[in-house]
Amino acid sequence: MNKSTSNRDSFYGHIAQTSDAPMGLEISHAEGPWLYTTDGRRYVDFISGIAVSSLGHRHPEVVDAIRNQLDRHLHVMVYGEFIQKPQAEFASLLASRLPSNLDRIYLVNSGTEANEGALKLAKKHTGRSRLVAFRNSYHGDTHGSLSVTGRDIYRDPYLPLLPGVTFLDFNDPSGLGNIDEDTAAVILEPIQGEGGIIEADPQWLEKVRERCDETGSLLIFDEIQSGFGRTGKLFAFMHYGVVPDILCMAKAMGGGLPIGGFASSGAIFEAFRHDPPLNHVTTFGGHPLSCAAALANLQVLLRPGVMERAAAIESRVKETIRGKGVVGVRGKGAMLGMQLESYEITRKTVEFALERGVLLGWTLHSNTLVRLAPPLIIDDDLLGEVLQIILESLGRAHQN
Protein backbone atom coordinates (compact mmCIF):
# COMPACT_ATOMS: atom_id res chain seq x y z
CA MET A 1 0.00 0.00 0.00
CA ASN A 2 1.57 3.31 -0.94
CA LYS A 3 1.72 6.18 1.56
CA SER A 4 -0.87 8.27 -0.20
CA THR A 5 -3.44 5.44 -0.18
CA SER A 6 -2.82 4.80 3.46
CA ASN A 7 -3.31 8.45 4.42
CA ARG A 8 -6.56 8.43 2.50
CA ASP A 9 -7.69 5.25 4.27
CA SER A 10 -6.75 6.68 7.65
CA PHE A 11 -8.60 9.89 6.91
CA TYR A 12 -11.80 8.05 6.04
CA GLY A 13 -11.31 5.35 8.65
CA HIS A 14 -10.09 7.26 11.67
CA ILE A 15 -10.81 10.96 11.30
CA ALA A 16 -14.37 11.64 12.48
CA GLN A 17 -16.28 12.73 9.40
CA THR A 18 -18.68 15.66 9.30
CA SER A 19 -19.59 15.50 5.63
CA ASP A 20 -21.01 12.88 3.28
CA ALA A 21 -18.72 14.13 0.56
CA PRO A 22 -15.49 15.63 1.89
CA MET A 23 -13.35 17.32 -0.75
CA GLY A 24 -10.56 14.97 0.23
CA LEU A 25 -7.67 16.89 -1.38
CA GLU A 26 -4.50 15.41 0.06
CA ILE A 27 -2.30 18.36 0.95
CA SER A 28 1.41 18.20 0.42
CA HIS A 29 2.27 21.83 1.20
CA ALA A 30 0.94 25.36 0.89
CA GLU A 31 2.57 28.66 0.04
CA GLY A 32 1.10 32.10 -0.62
CA PRO A 33 -2.17 31.69 -2.52
CA TRP A 34 -1.34 28.09 -3.48
CA LEU A 35 -2.29 24.68 -2.11
CA TYR A 36 -0.21 21.78 -3.44
CA THR A 37 -1.56 18.25 -3.35
CA THR A 38 0.28 14.94 -3.19
CA ASP A 39 -0.80 14.06 -6.73
CA GLY A 40 1.34 16.90 -8.04
CA ARG A 41 -1.47 19.38 -8.69
CA ARG A 42 -1.81 22.90 -7.34
CA TYR A 43 -4.89 24.96 -6.53
CA VAL A 44 -5.46 28.65 -5.92
CA ASP A 45 -6.97 28.87 -2.44
CA PHE A 46 -9.77 31.29 -3.25
CA ILE A 47 -11.44 30.75 0.14
CA SER A 48 -8.27 31.19 2.25
CA GLY A 49 -9.02 28.17 4.45
CA ILE A 50 -12.36 29.90 5.17
CA ALA A 51 -11.15 33.42 5.75
CA VAL A 52 -8.02 32.45 7.67
CA SER A 53 -4.95 32.86 5.48
CA SER A 54 -5.49 36.51 4.58
CA LEU A 55 -1.75 36.98 4.06
CA GLY A 56 -1.57 33.72 2.14
CA HIS A 57 -0.20 30.45 3.43
CA ARG A 58 3.07 30.50 5.40
CA HIS A 59 3.73 34.21 5.18
CA PRO A 60 7.52 34.40 5.73
CA GLU A 61 7.31 36.88 8.61
CA VAL A 62 4.68 34.80 10.37
CA VAL A 63 6.78 31.66 9.92
CA ASP A 64 9.89 33.45 11.26
CA ALA A 65 8.01 34.70 14.30
CA ILE A 66 6.78 31.18 15.06
CA ARG A 67 10.33 29.81 14.67
CA ASN A 68 11.76 32.44 17.02
CA GLN A 69 9.13 31.76 19.65
CA LEU A 70 9.65 28.02 19.27
CA ASP A 71 13.21 28.52 20.49
CA ARG A 72 12.10 30.54 23.54
CA HIS A 73 9.16 28.74 25.10
CA LEU A 74 5.90 26.95 24.38
CA HIS A 75 3.11 26.70 26.96
CA VAL A 76 4.17 27.82 30.42
CA MET A 77 1.05 28.60 32.47
CA VAL A 78 -2.74 28.92 32.19
CA TYR A 79 -4.17 32.14 30.85
CA GLY A 80 -3.47 35.35 32.72
CA GLU A 81 -0.93 34.36 35.37
CA PHE A 82 2.46 34.97 33.74
CA ILE A 83 3.62 37.91 31.67
CA GLN A 84 4.37 36.49 28.24
CA LYS A 85 5.98 38.79 25.70
CA PRO A 86 4.10 37.59 22.60
CA GLN A 87 0.73 38.06 24.36
CA ALA A 88 1.63 41.46 25.76
CA GLU A 89 3.04 42.80 22.49
CA PHE A 90 0.14 41.55 20.45
CA ALA A 91 -2.45 42.95 22.87
CA SER A 92 -0.87 46.38 22.99
CA LEU A 93 -0.48 46.67 19.20
CA LEU A 94 -4.09 45.60 18.72
CA ALA A 95 -5.33 48.01 21.39
CA SER A 96 -3.50 50.87 19.66
CA ARG A 97 -5.71 50.24 16.60
CA LEU A 98 -9.03 49.80 18.39
CA PRO A 99 -11.37 52.35 20.01
CA SER A 100 -10.44 53.04 23.63
CA ASN A 101 -13.37 51.02 25.02
CA LEU A 102 -11.87 47.88 23.45
CA ASP A 103 -8.42 48.17 24.96
CA ARG A 104 -8.36 44.84 26.83
CA ILE A 105 -8.44 41.42 25.28
CA TYR A 106 -9.12 37.96 26.62
CA LEU A 107 -7.29 35.43 24.46
CA VAL A 108 -8.74 32.05 23.54
CA ASN A 109 -8.12 29.33 20.97
CA SER A 110 -10.96 29.61 18.48
CA GLY A 111 -13.91 31.63 17.25
CA THR A 112 -16.60 29.81 19.12
CA GLU A 113 -14.67 30.17 22.37
CA ALA A 114 -14.45 33.92 21.81
CA ASN A 115 -18.23 34.08 21.52
CA GLU A 116 -18.72 31.83 24.54
CA GLY A 117 -16.55 34.13 26.62
CA ALA A 118 -18.26 37.26 25.31
CA LEU A 119 -21.73 35.93 26.22
CA LYS A 120 -20.59 34.97 29.71
CA LEU A 121 -18.90 38.35 30.18
CA ALA A 122 -22.07 40.19 29.17
CA LYS A 123 -24.21 38.11 31.53
CA LYS A 124 -21.84 38.59 34.44
CA HIS A 125 -21.34 42.31 33.84
CA THR A 126 -25.04 43.13 33.45
CA GLY A 127 -26.42 40.57 35.91
CA ARG A 128 -28.99 39.72 33.22
CA SER A 129 -29.52 36.54 31.25
CA ARG A 130 -31.62 37.33 28.16
CA LEU A 131 -29.80 37.31 24.83
CA VAL A 132 -30.85 38.73 21.48
CA ALA A 133 -29.47 37.28 18.25
CA PHE A 134 -30.41 37.28 14.57
CA ARG A 135 -31.86 34.83 12.11
CA ASN A 136 -29.39 33.44 9.60
CA SER A 137 -26.42 34.13 11.86
CA TYR A 138 -23.57 31.74 12.58
CA HIS A 139 -21.59 32.01 15.80
CA GLY A 140 -20.02 28.58 16.24
CA ASP A 141 -20.82 25.02 17.22
CA THR A 142 -20.34 24.84 20.98
CA HIS A 143 -23.51 25.02 23.06
CA GLY A 144 -23.47 28.74 23.90
CA SER A 145 -22.57 29.88 20.39
CA LEU A 146 -25.07 27.46 18.89
CA SER A 147 -27.72 28.91 21.20
CA VAL A 148 -27.36 32.27 19.42
CA THR A 149 -26.93 30.82 15.93
CA GLY A 150 -30.00 31.63 13.85
CA ARG A 151 -30.65 28.49 11.85
CA ASP A 152 -32.98 25.82 13.22
CA ILE A 153 -31.65 22.80 11.33
CA TYR A 154 -28.33 23.16 13.17
CA ARG A 155 -29.97 23.87 16.53
CA ASP A 156 -32.84 21.40 16.62
CA PRO A 157 -30.81 18.21 17.20
CA TYR A 158 -29.22 19.77 20.29
CA LEU A 159 -32.22 21.26 22.07
CA PRO A 160 -32.57 22.35 24.78
CA LEU A 161 -29.93 25.03 24.31
CA LEU A 162 -29.52 28.18 26.41
CA PRO A 163 -32.91 29.53 27.50
CA GLY A 164 -33.90 33.15 26.98
CA VAL A 165 -32.57 33.71 23.46
CA THR A 166 -34.75 35.80 21.15
CA PHE A 167 -34.08 35.80 17.40
CA LEU A 168 -34.88 38.89 15.36
CA ASP A 169 -34.68 39.52 11.63
CA PHE A 170 -31.33 40.91 10.50
CA ASN A 171 -31.58 44.42 9.06
CA ASP A 172 -35.21 44.82 10.20
CA PRO A 173 -35.62 47.75 12.63
CA SER A 174 -39.18 46.77 13.56
CA GLY A 175 -38.08 44.04 15.99
CA LEU A 176 -35.58 46.08 17.96
CA GLY A 177 -38.12 46.83 20.73
CA ASN A 178 -37.44 43.24 21.82
CA ILE A 179 -34.10 44.44 23.17
CA ASP A 180 -35.15 45.35 26.71
CA GLU A 181 -33.93 45.99 30.26
CA ASP A 182 -33.58 42.22 30.84
CA THR A 183 -31.28 41.81 27.84
CA ALA A 184 -27.66 41.08 28.73
CA ALA A 185 -26.37 41.21 25.18
CA VAL A 186 -27.19 41.55 21.54
CA ILE A 187 -24.85 39.53 19.34
CA LEU A 188 -24.47 40.00 15.59
CA GLU A 189 -22.08 39.79 12.68
CA PRO A 190 -21.73 43.19 10.96
CA ILE A 191 -21.49 41.12 7.78
CA GLN A 192 -23.19 37.75 8.11
CA GLY A 193 -20.69 35.26 6.71
CA GLU A 194 -22.14 31.75 6.76
CA GLY A 195 -25.58 33.28 6.22
CA GLY A 196 -24.49 34.17 2.69
CA ILE A 197 -22.43 37.39 2.92
CA ILE A 198 -25.17 39.77 4.03
CA GLU A 199 -24.02 43.26 5.00
CA ALA A 200 -25.69 45.08 7.87
CA ASP A 201 -27.60 48.15 6.81
CA PRO A 202 -25.72 51.12 8.36
CA GLN A 203 -28.85 52.82 9.70
CA TRP A 204 -30.15 49.60 11.21
CA LEU A 205 -26.80 49.00 12.91
CA GLU A 206 -26.94 52.50 14.43
CA LYS A 207 -30.45 51.75 15.71
CA VAL A 208 -29.24 48.52 17.31
CA ARG A 209 -26.49 50.52 19.05
CA GLU A 210 -29.01 53.13 20.23
CA ARG A 211 -31.39 50.49 21.57
CA CYS A 212 -28.53 48.80 23.46
CA ASP A 213 -27.60 52.17 24.97
CA GLU A 214 -31.20 52.85 26.00
CA THR A 215 -31.55 49.49 27.72
CA GLY A 216 -28.02 48.98 29.08
CA SER A 217 -27.54 45.82 27.00
CA LEU A 218 -24.07 45.09 25.72
CA LEU A 219 -23.54 44.98 21.97
CA ILE A 220 -21.30 42.11 20.82
CA PHE A 221 -19.90 42.10 17.30
CA ASP A 222 -18.81 38.71 16.06
CA GLU A 223 -16.02 39.66 13.63
CA ILE A 224 -14.52 36.21 13.59
CA GLN A 225 -14.91 36.01 9.82
CA SER A 226 -14.91 39.70 8.88
CA GLY A 227 -11.92 40.75 11.01
CA PHE A 228 -8.22 41.28 10.38
CA GLY A 229 -8.41 43.06 7.07
CA ARG A 230 -10.79 40.77 5.22
CA THR A 231 -13.13 43.65 4.34
CA GLY A 232 -10.36 46.22 3.76
CA LYS A 233 -10.29 47.62 7.29
CA LEU A 234 -8.96 45.95 10.41
CA PHE A 235 -12.57 45.18 11.43
CA ALA A 236 -15.78 45.55 9.46
CA PHE A 237 -17.36 47.78 12.13
CA MET A 238 -14.80 50.42 11.12
CA HIS A 239 -16.70 50.88 7.85
CA TYR A 240 -19.82 51.69 9.86
CA GLY A 241 -18.52 53.81 12.71
CA VAL A 242 -20.68 51.82 15.13
CA VAL A 243 -18.55 50.55 18.02
CA PRO A 244 -19.49 47.42 19.97
CA ASP A 245 -19.02 46.84 23.72
CA ILE A 246 -17.37 43.49 23.04
CA LEU A 247 -15.54 42.53 19.85
CA CYS A 248 -14.98 38.85 19.02
CA MET A 249 -12.21 37.73 16.71
CA ALA A 250 -10.39 34.57 15.53
CA LYS A 251 -9.73 32.95 12.11
CA ALA A 252 -7.28 35.30 10.31
CA MET A 253 -5.98 36.59 13.65
CA GLY A 254 -3.18 34.01 13.93
CA GLY A 255 -1.94 34.03 10.34
CA GLY A 256 -2.64 30.28 10.20
CA LEU A 257 -2.24 29.31 13.85
CA PRO A 258 -5.28 28.82 16.11
CA ILE A 259 -6.16 31.81 18.25
CA GLY A 260 -9.21 33.89 19.11
CA GLY A 261 -10.08 36.67 21.47
CA PHE A 262 -12.72 39.03 22.74
CA ALA A 263 -11.90 42.65 23.40
CA SER A 264 -13.75 45.02 25.72
CA SER A 265 -13.06 47.65 28.37
CA GLY A 266 -11.27 47.21 31.68
CA ALA A 267 -14.52 48.15 33.47
CA ILE A 268 -16.50 45.39 31.77
CA PHE A 269 -13.73 42.82 32.25
CA GLU A 270 -13.84 43.51 36.02
CA ALA A 271 -16.67 40.96 36.05
CA PHE A 272 -14.20 38.13 35.38
CA ARG A 273 -11.97 39.10 38.31
CA HIS A 274 -14.24 38.63 41.26
CA ASP A 275 -17.28 36.77 42.68
CA PRO A 276 -15.57 34.32 42.32
CA PRO A 277 -12.09 35.19 41.13
CA LEU A 278 -10.89 33.08 38.19
CA ASN A 279 -14.45 32.58 36.98
CA HIS A 280 -13.39 32.31 33.34
CA VAL A 281 -10.10 30.53 32.69
CA THR A 282 -8.53 28.59 29.86
CA THR A 283 -5.36 26.53 29.73
CA PHE A 284 -4.16 27.25 26.23
CA GLY A 285 -5.87 30.55 25.41
CA GLY A 286 -3.29 32.97 24.00
CA HIS A 287 -0.72 30.25 23.36
CA PRO A 288 2.71 31.87 22.89
CA LEU A 289 3.23 30.38 19.43
CA SER A 290 -0.17 31.61 18.29
CA CYS A 291 0.45 35.06 19.79
CA ALA A 292 3.84 35.35 18.13
CA ALA A 293 2.17 34.49 14.83
CA ALA A 294 -0.70 36.90 15.54
CA LEU A 295 1.73 39.73 16.27
CA ALA A 296 3.68 39.22 13.02
CA ASN A 297 0.42 38.83 11.10
CA LEU A 298 -0.92 42.10 12.52
CA GLN A 299 2.34 43.96 11.88
CA VAL A 300 2.23 42.94 8.22
CA LEU A 301 -1.49 43.73 7.88
CA LEU A 302 -0.95 47.23 9.25
CA ARG A 303 1.62 48.13 6.61
CA PRO A 304 0.39 50.65 4.06
CA GLY A 305 -1.36 49.02 1.13
CA VAL A 306 -1.89 45.54 2.62
CA MET A 307 -5.49 45.79 3.85
CA GLU A 308 -6.26 48.36 1.17
CA ARG A 309 -5.74 45.61 -1.37
CA ALA A 310 -9.16 44.22 -0.35
CA ALA A 311 -10.94 47.19 -1.98
CA ALA A 312 -9.10 46.61 -5.27
CA ILE A 313 -10.02 42.91 -5.13
CA GLU A 314 -13.67 43.84 -4.51
CA SER A 315 -13.94 46.16 -7.49
CA ARG A 316 -12.10 43.81 -9.85
CA VAL A 317 -14.26 40.84 -8.85
CA LYS A 318 -17.51 42.81 -9.02
CA GLU A 319 -16.65 44.45 -12.36
CA THR A 320 -15.58 41.16 -13.93
CA ILE A 321 -18.41 38.94 -12.74
CA ARG A 322 -21.50 41.14 -12.46
CA GLY A 323 -24.01 40.50 -15.20
CA LYS A 324 -22.18 37.38 -16.47
CA GLY A 325 -24.70 34.65 -15.67
CA VAL A 326 -24.90 35.44 -11.96
CA VAL A 327 -27.81 36.78 -9.94
CA GLY A 328 -25.41 39.13 -8.16
CA VAL A 329 -22.07 39.60 -6.43
CA ARG A 330 -22.14 41.07 -2.95
CA GLY A 331 -19.95 41.76 0.06
CA LYS A 332 -17.11 44.02 1.06
CA GLY A 333 -13.41 43.87 0.27
CA ALA A 334 -12.28 40.28 -0.03
CA MET A 335 -15.37 38.94 1.79
CA LEU A 336 -17.52 38.36 -1.25
CA GLY A 337 -20.25 36.04 -2.45
CA MET A 338 -21.51 35.22 -5.90
CA GLN A 339 -25.25 34.54 -5.86
CA LEU A 340 -26.39 31.96 -8.42
CA GLU A 341 -29.87 30.88 -9.39
CA SER A 342 -29.84 27.24 -8.31
CA TYR A 343 -28.05 24.66 -6.26
CA GLU A 344 -27.20 22.68 -9.41
CA ILE A 345 -25.48 25.64 -11.08
CA THR A 346 -23.64 26.41 -7.85
CA ARG A 347 -22.47 22.83 -7.38
CA LYS A 348 -21.27 22.54 -10.96
CA THR A 349 -19.51 25.92 -10.95
CA VAL A 350 -17.55 24.95 -7.84
CA GLU A 351 -16.78 21.51 -9.31
CA PHE A 352 -15.63 22.84 -12.69
CA ALA A 353 -13.47 25.51 -11.07
CA LEU A 354 -11.82 22.86 -8.91
CA GLU A 355 -11.02 20.82 -12.02
CA ARG A 356 -9.28 23.93 -13.36
CA GLY A 357 -7.31 24.42 -10.13
CA VAL A 358 -9.40 27.02 -8.29
CA LEU A 359 -10.76 26.22 -4.85
CA LEU A 360 -14.16 27.83 -4.20
CA GLY A 361 -16.81 26.91 -1.67
CA TRP A 362 -20.22 27.45 -0.20
CA THR A 363 -21.33 29.21 2.94
CA LEU A 364 -22.95 27.07 5.62
CA HIS A 365 -26.48 28.47 5.39
CA SER A 366 -26.69 29.02 1.63
CA ASN A 367 -26.21 26.50 -1.15
CA THR A 368 -26.69 28.98 -3.99
CA LEU A 369 -23.91 31.34 -3.01
CA VAL A 370 -20.27 30.79 -3.97
CA ARG A 371 -17.89 32.17 -1.38
CA LEU A 372 -15.08 34.31 -2.81
CA ALA A 373 -12.50 35.02 -0.12
CA PRO A 374 -9.07 35.22 -1.73
CA PRO A 375 -5.94 36.01 0.23
CA LEU A 376 -5.17 39.75 0.20
CA ILE A 377 -1.73 39.01 -1.26
CA ILE A 378 -3.11 37.61 -4.51
CA ASP A 379 -1.59 39.58 -7.39
CA ASP A 380 -3.51 41.13 -10.27
CA ASP A 381 -2.42 38.57 -12.85
CA LEU A 382 -3.45 35.58 -10.78
CA LEU A 383 -6.70 37.29 -9.78
CA GLY A 384 -7.45 37.87 -13.45
CA GLU A 385 -6.73 34.22 -14.30
CA VAL A 386 -8.96 32.97 -11.48
CA LEU A 387 -11.84 35.24 -12.50
CA GLN A 388 -11.54 33.98 -16.06
CA ILE A 389 -11.73 30.39 -14.80
CA ILE A 390 -14.76 31.27 -12.67
CA LEU A 391 -16.52 32.80 -15.69
CA GLU A 392 -15.74 29.76 -17.83
CA SER A 393 -16.90 27.41 -15.06
CA LEU A 394 -20.13 29.38 -14.78
CA GLY A 395 -20.63 29.18 -18.53
CA ARG A 396 -20.06 25.42 -18.52
CA ALA A 397 -22.41 24.98 -15.54
CA HIS A 398 -25.16 26.75 -17.46
CA GLN A 399 -24.65 24.57 -20.56
CA ASN A 400 -24.56 21.22 -18.73
Q: Which CB atom, from 25 or from 364, has the smaller least distance to ligand PMP?
A: 364
Q: Which CB atom, from 119 or from 397, has the smaller least distance to ligand PMP?
A: 119
CB of residue 345 vs ligand PMP: minimum separation in angstroms? 24
Which residue is at the shortest CB distance from ligand PMP?
A: 111
CB of residue 199 vs ligand PMP: minimum separation in angstroms? 13
Q: Which CB atom, from 112 or from 346, has the smaller least distance to ligand PMP?
A: 112
Coil, helix or strand for 361? strand
CB of residue 235 vs ligand PMP: minimum separation in angstroms? 12
Taking the C-alpha atoms of residue 54 and residue 49, their distance in angstroms, rounded to an integer, is 9
CB of residue 363 vs ligand PMP: minimum separation in angstroms? 9
Q: What are the residues binding ligand PMP (CB under 6 A)?
A: 50, 110-112, 115, 138-140, 189, 193-194, 222, 224-225, 250
Taking the C-alpha atoms of residue 221 and residue 245, their distance in angstroms, rounded to an integer, is 8
Q: Which CB atom, from 151 or from 396, has the smaller least distance to ligand PMP?
A: 151
CB 252 within 8 A of CB 229: yes
CB of residue 379 vs ligand PMP: minimum separation in angstroms? 26
C-alpha count within 13 angstroms, C-beta hemisphere, residue 104: 14
Q: Which CB atom, from 44 or from 118, has the smaller least distance to ligand PMP?
A: 118
Q: What's the Cα-to-Cα distance from 161 to each of 122, 155, 285, rounded to whole Å?
A: 18, 8, 25
Cis peptide leading into residue 276 (ω within 30°): yes
User: How would you write 143-196 as a 3-class SS string?
Assistant: HHHHHCCCCHHHHHHHCCCCCCEEEECCCCHHHHHHCCCCEEEEEECCEECCCC
Q: Which CB atom, from 47 or from 329, has the smaller least distance to ligand PMP?
A: 47
CB of residue 191 vs ligand PMP: minimum separation in angstroms? 9
Q: Residue 224, Cα to own-chain centre: how many angstroms?
A: 3
